[in-house]
Amino acid sequence: MSTCIEIRQLTKLYHAGPNEVRALDNVSLEIGQGDFVALMGPSGSGKTTLLNIIAGIDHATSGTVSVEGTDIAALSESAKARWRTRSIGYIFQFYNLLPVLTAYENVELPLLLLPMSKAERNDHVMAALEAVGLLDRRDHYPRQLSGGQEQRAAIARALVTDARILVADEPTGNLDAENEHEIMALLRRLNTQFAKTMLMVTHDAEAAAFANRIVRLEKGSIKNN
């Protein structure tokens, strides 16, 4: 398995008044192409910080992050935004769907940043909705969808640019047990059938069991990998 994400001696510091908070402390980690990794640990252990740095949303204080050979820190903000749109699909715990848009329109949003025709956008949106089993709800607004359906729409939005890497921050944290299992089975299928590299933050051992590997963080450091 070739390396997809390579992290070397990553440190992230925050300043809260006179205090220095070390969110990540000299973290090194490799994730293979097509791997499915769950990041686990107590609140404040640095899981989401690490996820956001890999996704190019946050930046490290020191150390390096290479994603498919791209040094994220070397990109300008505009170049990083373009890279993120094409390479990273982000799945949020609370879905982050716009209530005034239909499921179709929410999924289409990332494509509006790319040089695509309306017909091309439609092909991508319909394929993404089909992949998550939501074609029959494409004209529904978020308020007309169940929690599980909202998360499926959010996953379709992460898929729609054909990003090779999906990162998920507590993707089942707002779901009941039945929907949790369905969403995790879907993420597993995307990993195996579509060869998506998956990196997921979770507190839930049952969700983490769908991953190939569990990486545990505590106080900003990796305890095993």
User: In the structure, what pLDDT confidence band is assigned to residue 21 with cuts at 50, 70 and 90?
Assistant: confident
Query: What residues does each domain of the chain span?
Result: 34-49+76-224
Burial-class residue 15 by CB neighbours within 10 Å (0-12, 13-18, 19+): exposed
Res 1 pLDDT > 90: no
Give the pLDDT confidence score for residue 175 in this predicted structure. Answer: 86
Dihedral angle sign, alpha carbons of residues 121, 127, 131, 132:
positive
| H/E run at residue 187 | helix 177-193
Residue 225 has pLDDT above 60, yes or no: no
- Residue 203 predicted with pLDDT over 70: yes
CA dihedral 93→98→103→109, nearest 10 degrees, is -100
pLDDT reported for residue 62: 94
pLDDT attached to residue 44: 87
pLDDT reported for residue 132: 93
Joined tokens for residue 30: 């490799």
Q: Which CATH class is domain 34-49+76-224?
A: alpha beta
Is the confidence at residue 26, as pLDDT, over 90? Answer: yes
pLDDT averaged over every residue in the chain: 92
Is residue 108 within 8 A of residue 167, CB to CB? The reply is no
Distance set, CA 63 to CA 4, 53, 71, 146 (Å):
17, 11, 11, 42
Stretch 11-16: mean pLDDT: 89
pTM more than 0.85: yes
**Pairwise CA distance, residues 179 & 172, whole Å:** 8
DSSP 172: T
Check: CB of residue 139 under 8 Å from CB of residue 104.
yes
Task: Write b or e for each residue in 179-202: b if 16 or more Cβ atoms lie within 10 A of its Cβ, otherwise e.
Answer: bbbbbbebbbebbeeeebbbbbbb
pLDDT bucket at 224, cuts 50 / 70 / 90: low
Mean pLDDT to the nearest integer, 144-161: 94
